[in-house]
Amino acid sequence: MGIIVAIGGGEISTFETYEIDQTIVGLSNKLNPTVVFIPTASMDAKGYCESFERLYRDRLGCEVKHLLLTKCTYTKDEIEGMIMSADIVYVGGGNTRKMLDIWQQHEVDNLLKKAYASGVILSGMSAGSICWYEYGHSDSGAFEHTGVWHYIKLKAMGILKGIHCPHYNEDIRSVDFAKMVKGMNMPGIAIENNCAVIYKDDQYKVITSQENAKAYMIQEID
């Protein structure tokens, strides 16, 4: 199996997560690994891609490729070839619901599971961390469906067990997430900005790029 690095949040354009990103690159055990950036959740925002290149190509020395599912047309073989040839896949943040819907249309979710099984490192921030778990605590699409801004429980890929809340130290997420975890009979994994959890071989390790950034396991006790 591979490695998954779930990042709670941070601003890559200002290199806030630099130490975490260094660790991700180091996990590949390659000097110049190939990184495939999947910014579907941001609708393939150009500025996001440029920020990612400045960090992973210019600062960390990676070969960066972009899988732009909302802006480009690919065959299934082209998508599979890009994902399976990567050393690292990094999924960007944004609208998790839309991202997962687009992935299903292109079978990207199944290809990422295949890549994980083959040893490709999977990583990502916010939407790009929610996607690996069974469920996510998300505001994606909540307003457009109800007219009221709120958090929703979103079904994700299920490679990792539990329900995940990124950006845990923002607004009312900690209070709302505790309510969501209640009665779910599964662990809640909460990760603050500038913090990440590395999963490898049924073990995990918390790393940070900012002092006092934390991750939490929240579970209802009978």
- pLDDT confidence of residue 179: 92
Q: Say which CATH class 3-218 falls into.
A: alpha beta
C-alpha distances in Å from residue 33, one per residue of 12, 19, 39, 49, 91: 19, 17, 19, 17, 16
Structure confidence at residue 199 (pLDDT)? 98
Rounded distance between C-alpha atoms, residue 191 and residue 167, angstroms: 6
The per-residue pLDDT for 147 is: 53
DSSP string, 135-198: EEEE-TTHHHHHSS---EEEE---SEEEEEESSTTSTTHHHHHHHHHTTS-S-EEEE-TTEEEE
Domain boundaries in the chain?
3-218
Q: Which residues of the chain have pLDDT under 70?
A: 140-149, 221-222
Q: What is the pTM of this model?
A: 0.95
Determine the pLDDT at residue 148: 54
Please answer whether residues 80 and 40 qualify as being in contact, where contact means their C-beta atoms are separated by less than 8 angstroms: no
pLDDT value, residue 139: 80
Query: Token pair of 195, please?
Result: 């913090």
Looking at residue 189, its pLDDT comes to 98
- Quick one: pLDDT at residue 202? 85
pLDDT of residue 150: 76
